[in-house]
């Protein structure tokens, strides 16, 4: 049987609920960024502008998460669910591991999106099914770690801890 970690670890369910809440918050942040982008580009469409839109989505999310993780150690959703990102041996998570964690966290979605692309899955049901399977598979990576950390945290050297109730 695996040894229990010294610091409390949030349950996988709690982390997934925080992720769901995070999706709602990030949608609002991204909507504002898209409003600004579409206003700046006069809502014109071309291959280059469409790729620019994708880059804005990616970079805004990166700034949101990396800033929160390397600052206070949590986003608003993580704070609500009393979850904090830490890096052993550091008072705050440094920028480089926070950025690495952001890139690696795409493991939650990227494999499913690639499956959708390769197999031409286009219906909302197919896409949601692929994303659900990918999210479930990534969540299971915590079961293989003695400290119940997800794969992207293990690789980045970070860990999620449960904060006590006030």
**HEC readout, 88-121:** CCCCCCCHHHHHHHHHHHHHHCHHHHHHHHHCCC
Q: What is the mean pLDDT of residues 4-12?
A: 75
Q: How confident is the model at residue 5 (pLDDT cuts 50, 70, 90)?
A: very low
The answer on pLDDT for 153 being more than 80 is yes
Residue 124 maps to a domain:
yes
The predicted model gives 121-148 an average pLDDT of 94
The Cα–Cα gap between 16 and 5 comes to 20
Per the domain annotation, does 45 fall within a domain?
yes
> Residues 11-49: pLDDT tens digits?
999 999 999 999 999 999 999 999 999 999 999 999 999
Contact indicator for 161, 10 with CB cutoff of 8 Å:
yes
Does residue 1 belong to any structural domain of this protein?
no
Indicate the DSSP class of residue 27: H
Question: In this structure, are residues 13 and 162 in contact, taking their beta carbons and an 8 Å threshold?
Answer: no
Per-residue confidence (pLDDT) for residue 7, from 0 to 100: 66
In a domain, 151, yes or no: yes
What are 33's two structure tokens? 């960024």
Percent of the chain residues topping a pLDDT of 90: 93
Mean pLDDT (the chain) is 94
The answer to whether residue 4 sits within a structural domain is: no
Write the CB contacts of 73 (distance below 8 Å, at least 6 apart in sequence): 84, 85, 86, 92, 93
Q: Which domain holds residue 137?
A: 12-162
Residue 7 lies in a domain: no
Number of independent structural domains in the chain: 1
């Amino acid at each position: 049987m695996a040894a229990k970690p010294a610091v409390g670890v949030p349950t996988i369910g709690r982390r997934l609920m925080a992720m769901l809440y995070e999706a709602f918050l990030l949608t609002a942040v991204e909507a504002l960024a898209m409003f600004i982008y579409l206003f700046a580009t006069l809502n014109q469409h071309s291959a280059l502008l469409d790729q620019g839109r994708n880059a804005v989505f990616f970079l805004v999310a990166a700034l949101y998460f990396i800033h929160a993780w390397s600052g206070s150690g949590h986003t608003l959703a993580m704070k609500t669910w009393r979850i904090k990102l830490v890096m052993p041996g550091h008072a705050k998570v440094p920028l480089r591991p926070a950025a690495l964690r952001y890139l690696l966290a795409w493991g939650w979605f990227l494999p499913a999106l690639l499956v959708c692309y390769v197999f031409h899955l286009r219906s909302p049901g197919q896409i949601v099914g692929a994303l659900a399977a990918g999210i479930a598979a990534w969540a299971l990576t915590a079961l293989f770690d003695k400290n119940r950390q997800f794969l992207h945290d293990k690789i980045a050297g970070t860990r999620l801890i449960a904060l006590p109730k006030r």
